[in-house]
Structure 1
Amino acid sequence: MASESRVPSPESRTSHPRELTVALPDWVDAVVDWERPYATDEDKMRLAIALSRENVQRGTGGPFGAAITEQGTGRLVAVGVNSVVRLGNCTLHAEMVAFQLAQAAVGTFTLAAAGMPVHELATSCDPCAMCLGATLWSGVRRVLCGATRDDAMLLRFEEGPVFASSWRYLSHRGLEIRRGLLREEAVAVFDLYRQKGGEIYNG
């Protein structure tokens, strides 16, 4: 399993870029049913896990997936898959991609704008420190997590400074959190990633 970052050649580097494109892999529309409602917590989590699994099987990124839905209707707003290596950007975790695409879809920097439905995040693994902070600022009001931080760290991914107090802080800010949902199914994707020799970046 690779643990070192690949250094880009001088020819592949771009001096002083002025824009950044964040795009999902081409296979996403073949896997995601955008029209169906994701009514239950399990529906939402199975979608996040399916995204993580496809990302591994198709070799397009790390074993993490996320989905953002509207509470009540279950309408799917956006999805994300880990795109760190594919797009060469350490911030493009599944949750971060989902937040960015969801906010682009609704046309505002927050998913909690006045008159907007309540939004929920389903993520195949407990968010890392970066994604947990972004969860607060994203505007989602409910969070579903599959695999745990410890599961990810057993795979040698660095999850950063997330503590019990971090979760309590989110709860005190009004976010509802459900962790360990379909954990075994989510961890099975980690096992697949290990078997395939997936890259452990920033470990």
Structure 2
Amino acid sequence: MDVSTMPRSYGVTVPDWVFDELRATPDTLSTDEERMSLVHKLAARNPAEGSGGPFAALVVDTDTGEVVSAGVNLVLASGLSAAHAEVVALSLAQTRIGGWDLGAAGAPNRELVVNWRPCAQCYGAALWSRVKRLVVAGAGPELEQLTGFDEGPMREDWAEQFHDRGIEVVSDVSREQALEVFAAYGRMAAEQGLTVYNARGTR
């Protein structure tokens, strides 16, 4: 077997503009609304930067409000279907702490903040990361209706499954702002012919 052309690693790089936004942000974000406001800002900017869809996520120290990591959807920029905002944010947080377990005994309480209920892929990624808390702007069909994305076959008791694993779920944080971001993206996609990638094919 010739392995000379087989890649040995893969990865994504968060674009510089994300860090520009973070530098302009206070050192601590005390409330769910403040954290979600930053997520919405990153999510709204991401398609305009050509990185991917209108999605962003933060890993935050729940008690101090310190942002541990930030991720945006980088599927288009990276060419990797797994490079969703939640996966990026969780992976960067794990890289920062030097381990996979974001909820290890004695570790700070950490949470994932994202601008909608995780898709089928990110549902698993959030569970396996062992964050202690999941904060979402909302759940339901509106995201798919407004953007054309396919969120995958999610189970109806998704929130209960998080609870059963010791992960608190907080929903409907700045929900209307999330819907505004998705609607704006839907209009942009239609007007500019943006790639809307999903398992059913490109819209």
Tell me the TM-score normalized by structure 2. Answer: 0.88
The yes-or-no answer on 1:201 pairing with 2:188 is no
Q: Secondary structure at the match of 2:39?
A: helix
SS in 1 for 2:157: helix
Q: Is the 8 A contact 1:55 1:62 kept in 2?
A: yes
Aligned-partner Cα distance in 1 for 2:30–2:5 = 46
**Residue in 2 that maps onto 1:131:** 122
- Asked if 2 retains the 8 angstrom alpha-carbon contact of 1:128 and 1:149, the reply is no
Q: CA deviation at 1:35?
A: 5.6
In structure 2, what is the equivalent of residue 77 of structure 1? 68
Aligned-residue CA RMSD (Å): 1.6
Listed as ranges, the matches of 1:52-63 within 5 Å are 52-63=43-54
Q: Does the 8 Å contact 1:56/1:192 carry over to 2?
A: no
Does structure 1 retain, via aligned residues, the 8 Å contact 2:50–2:76? no
Q: Deviations over 1:9-57 (max 9, x none)?
A: xxxxx93111112210121111113661011010111111111011023
Residue 169 in structure 1 maps to residue 165 in structure 2: no
* Alignment-mate amino acid for residue 61 of structure 1: G
| Aligned mates of 1:46, 1:160 — CA distance in 2 | 26
Write the deviation string for residues 66-99 of structure 1: whole angstroms up to 9, x where unpaired: 0010011011100110011110011111000001
Mapped to 1, the partners of 2:133 and 2:72 lie a distance apart of 19
Residue 30, structure 1, aligned to residue 20, structure 2 = yes
> Aligned residues, how many?
190
Q: Relative contact order: is structure 1 or structure 2 higher (C-alpha 8 Å, sep ≥ 6)?
A: 1
Normalized against structure 1, the TM-score is what? 0.88
Partner of 2:136 in structure 1?
Answer: 145
Task: Give 1:19's aligned residue.
Answer: 9
Would you identify which runs of 4 or more consecutive aligned residues in structure 1 move more than 4 Å? none
Q: Would you say the 8 A contact 1:66–1:124 is kept in 2?
A: yes
Percent identical among aligned pairs is 37
Q: Which residue of 2 aligns with 1:3?
A: none
| Separation in 2, partners of 1:182, 1:163 | 23
Unaligned runs of 5+ in 2: none
Deviations along 1:117-147, one digit per CA (max 9) or x if unpaired, are 0101100111001111111111211011114
Q: Which sections of structure 1, spanning at least 5 residues, go unmatched?
A: 1-13
3-state secondary structure, aligned to 1:32 = helix
* Residue 115 (1) aligns with residue 106 (2): yes
Deviation sequence 1:172-195 (CA, Å, 0-9, x none): 111110112111111111122122
